[in-house]
Amino acid sequence: MNPGELALLALVIPAGGAVLVGLLRASPNLREAASLITGGVLLGVVMQIHRAVSAGETPRFVLAEPLPGIPLELVVEPLGMIFALVAGSLWIVTTLYAIGYMRGHHEKNQTRFYIFFALAISCTMGVAFAGNLFTLFIFYEALTLSTFPLVTHAGTDAAKRAGRVYLGILLSTSIGFQLLAIIWTYLLTGTIGFEMGGILEGRAGAGVVAVLLALYVFGIGKAAVMPFHRWLPAAMVAPTPVSALLHAVAVVKAGVFSILKIVIYVFGIDFLTQLGASVWLMWVAAATIILASLVAFRKDNLKARLAYSTISQLSYVVLGAMLANTMGIIGGGMHIVMHAFGKITLFFCAGAVMVAAHKTEISDMKGLGRTMPVTFAAFFVGTLSIIGLPPAGGTWSKWFLGLGALDAGQVGLVAVLMVSSLLSIGYLMIVPVRAFFSPAASNPHGHGHGNGGIHEAPLPSLIAIVITSLCCFALFVYPDPFFRLMSMVAGP
């Protein structure tokens, strides 16, 4: 099988998994096994594609040609490869986690949950391997629609309201801004393909480029650049595995990944630097970083705090893209990976606390570290990675982003990065610290020893937590594969 067909397979496998899950709905054990096996096969396929891409190949596959000259096509280039690797490897871990969580939490409609989960991964792969703007847009929208049933999974009024915000913001920004920008690009260049060095150079003036770039950045609502960030906290009503994989990895990363991809392959970093069209957007991203961190401080609900932290961290990637130089791009790309592993660990922990101790508010978690040591240790590791402290992977991406900011001569942005790291120490580190060192709140039911009956989360979930937190360390020691892929994209 040639690599192009493998890329198609990466889309088909999760979709096929969804069908399998639907067929096996009668037996939860078989159904979960099907999910896990599909995850394993997908990871294997993605690894195969990775081998081809590292060897310098560019697998291609044309699916259809809906409009003349505008094919629906898959092209695997290094940046997309990174995204696919992250999503593919974390899917299987999340499935493992979800099995423990969904059963431990007695969620309803679990079959529907696994079906749409698999479909969402299929769409994510489509985003990762999209060969042109049109294909990217299609899978981007499909991802929105396939995750909608997951966001509203609970079916309560609050979930419905959240679903409305979710769809409203994501669809309206993408149709209103992104699609407009795509058609405009097509009109200017006569093509919508991704090309190294960009397609706009020499075909658009500085003013048009600035407007287009803004349309893309704000049109990709999934990147959650303020003021279009409201959907992400809203989406937190979903079950935790969804928040973990989709709203810390797949969906949001699809957003920032699209921005990176468009900056590199549509605008071209040299062209963008030369025009300086992205400078003001750097500051929008910087503002998002700081503001979202400040909001995170004020959230007592753990998942909400993590959501705002995600908004802040996503803008790191946007910032990297807007810096439009080699280091910035490498930093942005690396941050997709590092943040993914860090944040998914944090969400896993939040879910574990919810299942095991039925607690969602941070102020209630005092002293829980003693009864749930593994969970909170993992939370600590995840926090290190998000803040960017050694020995966790997040160190690297922040390092490169800092270098990128210096290269661009934006010393102010370096300060922003510093301040943001300090802030994240403040709002994230406090959680494990309190859990371990504060005395437990007195138990109103009078069970004698504060956290009576609470123990660690179900075993599958715990295994998942341990895996992702170990990955955070591993990425510090061995970030090489991702660095190499990013260097292929960003040039020397």
Partner 1 sequence: MIAAHLPAIQIVAPLLAAALCVLVPWKRVSWGIAMAGAVTAFAAAVGLLSRVLGGEDIRYALGGWAAPWGIEYRVDAVNGLVLLIVAGIGVVVTLFALTSVEREVDERRIPLFYGAWMLCLCGLLGIAITGDAFNIFVFLEISSLGTYALIAMGSDRRALVSAFRYLIMGSIGASFIVIGIGLLYVETGTLNLADLAERLPALYGERTVLVAFAFLTVGTSLKLALFPLHVWLPDAYAFAPSAVTGLIAATSTKVAVYVLLRFFFTVFGVTYSFDELSLGMWLLPLALVAIFTMSLVAIFQRNIKRMLAYSSVAQIGYIILGISFASVTGLTAATLHLFNHALMKGALFLALGCVMYRVGSVHIDALRGLGRRMPWTMAAFTAGGLSLIGVPLTVGFVSKWYLVLGALEQGMWPVAALVLVTSTLAVVYIWRVVEAVYFGEPSARADSVSEAPLRLLVPTWALIVANLYFGIDASLTTNVAGQAARALLGGAP
Query: Residue 358: CB partners within 8 Å, gap ≥ 6?
Result: none
Task: Supply the minimum distance, in Å, between the C-beta of residue 282 and partner 1.
Answer: 25
Q: Which is nearer to partner 1, 23 or 67 (CB)?
A: 67
Report DSSP letters for 387-409, one per residue: HT-TTSTHHHHHHHHHHHHHHTT
Q: Which is nearer to partner 1, 28 or 176 (CB)?
A: 176
Helix (H) or strand (E) holding 66: strand 60-67
DSSP state of 445: T
Angstrom distance (rounded) from CA 201 to CA 232: 34
Task: Supply the minimum distance, in Å, between the C-beta of residue 438 and partner 1.
Answer: 41
Q: Which is nearer to partner 1, 144 or 326 (CB)?
A: 144
Task: Supply the minimum distance, in Å, between the C-beta of residue 218 and partner 1.
Answer: 12
Task: Supply the minimum distance, in Å, between the C-beta of residue 18 and partner 1.
Answer: 16
Angstrom distance (rounded) from CA 35 to CA 40: 9
Q: How far apart are the first and last CA of the chain?
A: 32
Task: Supply the minimum distance, in Å, between the C-beta of residue 8 and partner 1.
Answer: 16
Angstrom distance (rounded) from CA 296 to CA 308: 5
- Whole-number Cα distances in Å, 294 to 167, 304, 311: 26, 13, 11
Task: Give the interface with partner 1 as residue ranges (CB under 8 A).
Answer: 64-68, 72, 134, 137-138, 141-142, 145, 152, 155, 160, 163-164, 167-168, 171-172, 175-177, 179-180, 183-184, 186-187
Q: What single-letter amino acid sits at 320?
A: G
Q: Note if the bond before 227 is cis, omega within 30 degrees.
A: yes
Checking phi first, is residue 447 left (phi over 0); if not, alpha (psi -120 to 50) or beta?
alpha
Q: Which is nearer to partner 1, 120 or 462 (CB)?
A: 120
Q: Which is nearer to partner 1, 173 or 293 (CB)?
A: 173
Task: Supply the minimum distance, in Å, between the C-beta of residue 66 and partner 1.
Answer: 5
Task: Supply the minimum distance, in Å, between the C-beta of residue 482 and partner 1.
Answer: 31
Q: Which is nearer to partner 1, 180 or 406 (CB)?
A: 180
Q: Note if the bond before 391 is cis, omega within 30 degrees.
A: yes
What CA dihedral angle connects 455, 461, 465 and 466, to 10 degrees?
80
Q: Which is nearer to partner 1, 228 or 341 (CB)?
A: 228
Q: Please, which residues bridge with residue 130 across strands?
A: 74
Task: Supply the minimum distance, in Å, between the C-beta of residue 230 and partner 1.
Answer: 15
Q: Which is nearer to partner 1, 173 or 315 (CB)?
A: 173
Q: Please, which residues bridge with residue 341 across strands?
A: none
Q: Which is nearer to partner 1, 138 or 463 (CB)?
A: 138
Task: Supply the minimum distance, in Å, between the C-beta of residue 215 and partner 1.
Answer: 9
Give me 209's structure tokens. Answer: 């480029």
Angstrom distance (rounded) from CA 75 to CA 61: 7
- Please provide the size of the chain in residues: 492
